[in-house]
Amino acid sequence: MYNLSLPTPILDQQELDQLDILINRYNKLTRPNSLSKLGENINKKIPSGVKEFSANIKSTISEQEIYFKTMKIIGDSFKVLEEKASKYSLSEDYIIDKIRNIDFDVQCLDEICMLRSYKISHVVNTHKTKDVALAFVEGGTTGVAGFIGIPFNLALSTLLYFRAVQSIAMFYGFDVKNNPTELIIASEVFSNSLSPKNSKNELSGNINKMMLITQDTILQEAAKKTYSDIASRSSIPLFLAQIKTLANKSAQKSIEKASGKGLENIIFKGVFERIGQKLALKSVQRAIPIISAGIGAFLDTTQMKKVIEFADIFYHKRYILEKKHRINLLLESKNI
């Protein structure tokens, strides 16, 4: 029997400091960026003849049509998308192998809560480069096909983004593969990453609330707690408990809908129904076959960076806020 190394203190000062660092990253992420300006510069450099050619093509296909074609691919050909995405998706064994290099011999995702959050973040930062490089290759390759490749590219890109969020969750010890509630939370994190601060439901709203937690908030809450509160294994912020409750209800509905189909398929389809129109509109950037490979690669890379950054901020912060609670649950499960 190996020994679990209980961190002392549970949260050190460097971890608490991360809360303010993370909120600064979140504020930077949600500020208007230079992407729209870059798009304007690209547009200026496109010859008028090519613009006219592109306009003629656009008149024959709309964003709505792209959206519906993409939905059809997701519904009819999800296994094909899965096969392509699986080449770049991370397994639990891969995650644990990378995490083992940090501190002690982690045996499963549940034990990751024993580690320092900033050490996990270092591993995640190494992983980010891989996902961004993948987005560049995938976007450039499928972008060559112009309008023909847009629906499939859109479906595959979106699934890769969703898988990237799941990978970040697993690095912080959240089991999205075997826990439907965690998969629902990952889907909401992914959806929010595309439009931060524009929450459409209660679950998304609670996720955005969590993103704004500071170190001062935690210290103030800790000062209010009684000894019994501190000793309780359920001592986590109320909105975090609400996130889990809402996600669990949504997961149960998704399980009922699945009826033989994969759960990820149902959840992914639901996410795309909410965000697909916006993504289809962006995909029109790929309308010009001559240069669509370059533009496509740029858009995929930029989007992947944004998705991964949002997910890393969310799961790093959630890791810190739930660390004591998760450690208590782990010790109980092992009768320690």
Q: Say which residues have a Cβ less than 8 Å from residue 300's Cβ, sequence separation at least 6.
A: 135, 136, 138, 139, 140, 157
Is residue 218 in some structural domain?
yes
What angle do helix axes 117-143 and 292-333 make, rounded to 10 degrees? 150
Q: Say which residues have a Cβ less than 8 Å from residue 174's Cβ, sequence separation at least 6.
A: 109, 182, 185, 186, 315, 318
Which residue do the tokens 């580690």 mark?
115
CB 254 within 8 A of CB 270: yes
Which residue do the tokens 């076959």 mark?
289
Is residue 33 in some structural domain?
no
Is residue 246 in some structural domain?
yes
313 vs 302: CA distance, rounded Å: 17
Is residue 275 in some structural domain?
yes
Looking at residue 186, the DSSP 8-state letter turns out to be: H
Is residue 11 in some structural domain?
no
Domain that holds residue 301: 55-333
Is residue 317 in some structural domain?
yes
Count of the separate structural domains present in the chain? 1
Is residue 115 in some structural domain?
yes
Is residue 13 in some structural domain?
no
What is the pTM (predicted TM-score) of this model?
Answer: 0.84
pLDDT tens, position by position, for the chain (336 residues)?
A: 356 778 999 999 999 999 999 999 999 988 876 445 544 554 555 555 555 555 555 555 677 888 899 899 999 999 999 988 887 788 899 899 989 887 677 889 999 999 999 999 999 998 877 766 666 566 556 654 566 677 888 888 889 889 999 999 999 999 999 999 999 999 999 999 987 766 667 888 888 888 888 777 666 665 555 444 444 444 456 778 888 899 999 999 998 887 656 899 999 999 999 888 777 766 655 555 544 555 455 557 778 888 999 999 999 999 999 999 999 999 988 876
Joined together, the tokens standing for residue 166 give 């799941």
Which amino acid, 161?
Y
